[in-house]
Copies of this chain bind each other. A is one copy, B any other.
C-alpha cells in the first residue's frame, strides 16, 4: 500500500473513484462524438491525416492523464476541473485540505 493511500478514508476513495470514472466517461463520450462529427464531413485525404495527428496528440494526452494513483489524484482532479470534465462539487466529501489543494491547483 502506498503511503499516501493511507491518507484517504474509504468514503473518500469511493467519492474519488466515482468522480474519476464520471470525468473519464464524459471526456471519452465527448471525444468519440467529436471524432464522429469530424469524420462525417471528410472529403480529402489531408483532412484524414489531420484527424490522425489530432488522435496522436489526444491519445498521448488522455493516456497520460487518467492516472489513478492516490498520490497523483489531487493533480488529476485539478486538471479535470480546469478542463471542465469535473465540477468541484462532485468532490464534496473529500477532506478540506484535499479540496483546497485541488481547488488551488485548478486555478493555476
Please list the residues of chain A having a beta carbon within 8 angstroms of any beta carbon in chain B: 28, 31-32, 35-36, 39-40, 42-45, 48-49, 51-52, 55-56, 59, 62
Of B42, B44, B52, B59, which one neighbours A59 at CB under 8 angstroms?
A: B52
Scoring A31, A42, A43, A56 by chain B CB atoms within 10 A of each residue's CB, the highest score goes to A42
Indicate if the CB atoms of B31 and A35 lie closer than 8 Å: no
Pair B48/A43 contact, Cβ less than 8 Å:
no
Residues of chain B with a CB closer than 8 A to A62's CB: 45
- Closest residue of chain B to A63 (Cβ to Cβ) is B49
- Residues of B near A40 (CB, < 8 A) are 36, 39-40
Q: A35-B42, A40-B36, A43-B32 are in contact. Are A59 and B55 (CB under 8 A)?
A: no
| Residues in B neighbouring A52, C-beta threshold 8 A | 52, 55-56, 59
Shortest beta-carbon distance from A54 to chain B in Å: 10
Q: Would you mind naming 19 contact pairs between A and B with Cβ atoms under 8 Å apart?
A: A28-B45, A31-B45, A31-B48, A32-B42, A32-B43, A32-B48, A35-B39, A35-B42, A36-B40, A36-B42, A39-B39, A40-B40, A48-B55, A49-B59, A51-B55, A52-B52, A52-B55, A52-B56, A56-B56
